[in-house]
């Protein structure tokens, strides 16, 4: 069953079209990633789904029911971990989680258990009596998550939960999300970090300018583009400087590479030569043979399958993070 069904959503902020006939279907038990650069409409789509924002056109159904601001029965089944840490500075970690949980659960005894479980879930046992001001950025993020999930929601929205988080806390957040899913939750995860999305999401939608550009599993998205692999060659010279290395390859060599049967693009940045190729069996040997024939001195050579950034680049002509 679709836990989320969004059809033809249009949202304007005055002249700006933030969501342009946006469609989204998320099924029960999946971690669905919304991947897009800053300003692509991820937060706006979430806020519309939560009925926190009005919209101009379209329909939103959650758990099979039409969502509107008065549907407290549906809201109780949803958890939100917002992009900005939203906690109360005067309350301790424990009191904060209890406060947010009390918005959904009125029974105090049940809440005591839920709050303890949430504290344990995010590993904040030692800090339960601390006020937010005493917590590091990573610990604050964990508190933000605990406040959003303590009432055991069936559907959880995580809006860029790892921005400005240290690698250790980031890993804790990502494994925590996978654990929530294994306990039965459906998750919508927004990010502009393709590595995170690849790590945890079952399906991904790539967004830009309020539109869905492509969606599918990471493998499906990568298979849908022309680029099959990217070969990166470090150029070397006897003198060893980057500039000298870059100038040691002339236009003729670059043209020779571009003329190879499966080469899509050749780019030279400093002393790194990147050759994007269609999927084919002999790309690496062909590229190396062409470079050897031109007496180009080579250092490290890597050959990698495409990334989600390549998918974004091929569809939009821009890098995901520029
Ligand atoms: N309250 C607002 N008033 C006017 N424009 C807004 C408002 N909120 C967002 N926008 C604009 O709408 C577009 C989509 O913004 P949104 O925050 O949904 O994108 P996002 O993908 O979540 O980006 P980010 O990762 O930066 O949060 C952007 O161009 C943004 O500047």
Core vs surface per residue 171-190: b (16+ CB within 10 A) or e = ebbbebbeebbeeebbbbbb
Q: Which of 41, 84, 163 to mutate to test the pocket of ligand 1 (most atoms within 8 A of CB)?
A: 41
Ligand 1 center to 321 CA (angstroms): 16
- Whose C-alpha lies nearest to ligand 1, atom 12? 18
Ligand 1 binding pocket mutation candidate from 18, 45, 194 (most atoms within 8 A of CB):
18
Regarding whether 75 and 156 lie in a shared domain, the answer is yes
Distance 44 CA to ligand 1 centre (A): 6
- Which residue, among 193, 125, 111, has the nearest Cα to 159 in the 3D structure? 193
How much of the chain, in percent, has pLDDT values that exceed 70?
96
- How many CA atoms, within 13 angstroms, populate the side-chain half-sphere of residue 124? 35
Point out the domain boundary residue: 223, 250, 269.
223
Ligand 1 pocket test target in 11, 13, 83 with most atoms within 8 Å of CB: 13
Judge whether 310 lies within some domain: no
Residues 34 and 50 in one domain: yes
pLDDT at 250: 80
Give 229-281 pLDDT, tens digit per residue: 999 999 987 665 666 656 667 888 889 999 999 999 999 988 899 999 998 88
Instruction: Please indicate, yes or no, if residue 311 is contained in any of the structural domains.
Output: no
Nearest to 275 by CA among 292, 257, 248: 257
CA distance 305 to 307: 7
Same domain (yes/no): 157, 202: yes
Task: Of 61-65, 139-143, 220-224, 236-240, give the lowest mean pLDDT range.
Answer: 236-240
Mean pLDDT (whole number) for 97-115? 95
What is the CATH classification number for the domain harbouring 264?
Answer: 3.30.70.980
At 60 the pLDDT is 98
Looking at residue 241, its pLDDT comes to: 65
- Let me know whether 143 and 259 are in one domain: no
Q: Is the pLDDT of residue 171 over 90?
A: no
Of the candidates 107, 56, 50, 98, the residue with the CA atom closest to the CA atom of residue 74 = 50
Residue 299 falls within a domain, yes or no? yes
Tell me, in angstroms, the distance from the centre of ligand 1 to residue 209's CA: 10
pLDDT in tens, 30-80: 999 999 888 899 999 999 999 999 999 999 999 999 999 999 999 999 999
Examine residue 68 and state whether it is found in any structural domain, yes or no.
yes
Band of residue 191 on the pLDDT scale cut at 50, 70, 90: confident
Q: How far is the CA of 36 from the centre of ligand 1 (A)?
A: 12
H/E stretch holding 174: helix 167-182
Q: State the burial class of residue 209 (Cβ atoms within 10 Å of its Cβ: 0-12, 13-18, 19+).
A: middle
Of residues 188 and 307, which shows the higher confidence score? 188
The span from the CA of 13 to the CA of 158, in Å, is 23
The whole-number pLDDT of residue 245 equals: 58
Q: What is the 38 CA–ligand 1 centroid distance (Å)?
A: 8
Do 64 and 168 lie in one domain? The reply is: yes
Within this chain, do residues 78 and 148 fall inside the same structural domain, yes or no? yes
Q: How many domains does the chain have?
A: 2
93 and 196 share one domain: yes
Residue 319 lies in a domain: no
The confidence score (pLDDT) of residue 180 equals 92
- In angstroms, the Cα distances linking 300 to 50, 231, 265, 303 are 49, 11, 20, 10
CATH number at residue 87: 3.40.50.300
| 176 & 286 share domain | no
Mean pLDDT of the chain, nearest integer: 91
Does residue 317 sit within a domain? no
The answer to whether residue 320 is domain-embedded is no
Same domain, 203 and 294: no
Beta bridge partners of 143: none
pLDDT on residue 53: 96
Let me know if residue 69 belongs to a domain.
yes
**Which amino acid residue places its CA nearest to atom 7 of ligand 1?**
13
Ligand 1, CB within 6 Å, residue ranges: 13, 16, 18, 36, 38-44, 83, 160
Q: Please choose from 14, 22, 24, 42 the residue to mutate so as to test ligand 1's pocket, defined by most ligand atoms within 8 A of CB.
A: 42
Region 76-96: mean pLDDT is 94
Task: Give the integer Cα–Cα distance in Å for 42 and 188.
Answer: 10
**What is the per-residue pLDDT for 194?**
86
The verdict on 90 and 53 lying in the same domain is yes
Same domain? 99 vs 162: yes
Q: What is the mean pLDDT of residues 200-222?
A: 94
Give the atom of ligand 1 at the shortest distance from the alpha carbon of 45. Answer: 18
Boundary of a domain, candidates 202, 223, 244: 223
Pairwise CA distance, residues 230 & 241, whole Å? 24
Question: 56: domain range?
Answer: 2-223
Residues 165 and 148 in one domain: yes
15, 214 Cβ separation under 8 angstroms = no
Instruction: Give the atom of ligand 1 at the shortest distance from the alpha carbon of 46.
Output: 18
Residues 127-153, mean pLDDT to the nearest whole number: 93
């Amino acid at each position: 069953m679709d836990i989320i069904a969004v059809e033809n959503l249009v949202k304007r902020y005055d002249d700006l079209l933030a969501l342009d006939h946006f469609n989204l279907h998320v099924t029960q038990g999946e971690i669905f990633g919304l991947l897009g650069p800053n300003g692509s409409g991820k937060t706006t789509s979430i806020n519309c789904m939560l009925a926190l924002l009005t919209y101009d056109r379209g329909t939103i159904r959650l758990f099979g029911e039409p969502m509107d601001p008065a549907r407290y029965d549906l809201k109780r089944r949803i958890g939100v971990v917002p992009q900005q840490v939203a906690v109360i500075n005067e309350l301790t970690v424990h009191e904060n989680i209890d406060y947010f949980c009390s918005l959904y659960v009125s029974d105090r005894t049940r809440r005591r258990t839920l709050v303890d479980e949430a504290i344990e879930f995010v590993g904040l046992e030692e800090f339960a009596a601390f006020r937010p001001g005493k917590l590091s950025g990573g610990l604050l993020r964990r508190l933000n998550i605990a406040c959003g999930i303590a009432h055991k929601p069936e559907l959880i929205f995580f809006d860029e939960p790892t921005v400005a988080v240290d690698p250790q806390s980031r890993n804790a957040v990502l494994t925590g999300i996978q654990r929530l899913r294994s306990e039965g939750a459906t998750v919508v995860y927004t990010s502009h970090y393709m590595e995170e999305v690849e790590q945890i999401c079952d399906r991904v939608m790539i967004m830009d300018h309020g539109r869905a550009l492509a969606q599918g599993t990471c493998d499906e998205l990568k298979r849908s583009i022309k680029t099959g692999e990217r070969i990166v060659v470090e150029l070397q010279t006897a003198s060893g400087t980057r500039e000298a290395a870059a100038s040691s390859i002339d236009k003729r060599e670059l043209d020779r590479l571009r003329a190879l049967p499966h080469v899509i693009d050749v780019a030279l940045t400093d002393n790194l030569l990147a050759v994007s190729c269609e999927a084919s069996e002999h790309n690496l040997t062909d590229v190396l043979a062409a470079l050897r024939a031109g007496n180009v001195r080579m250092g490290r050579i890597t050959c990698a399958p495409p990334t989600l950034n390549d998918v974004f680049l091929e569809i939009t002509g821009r890098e995901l993070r520029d």
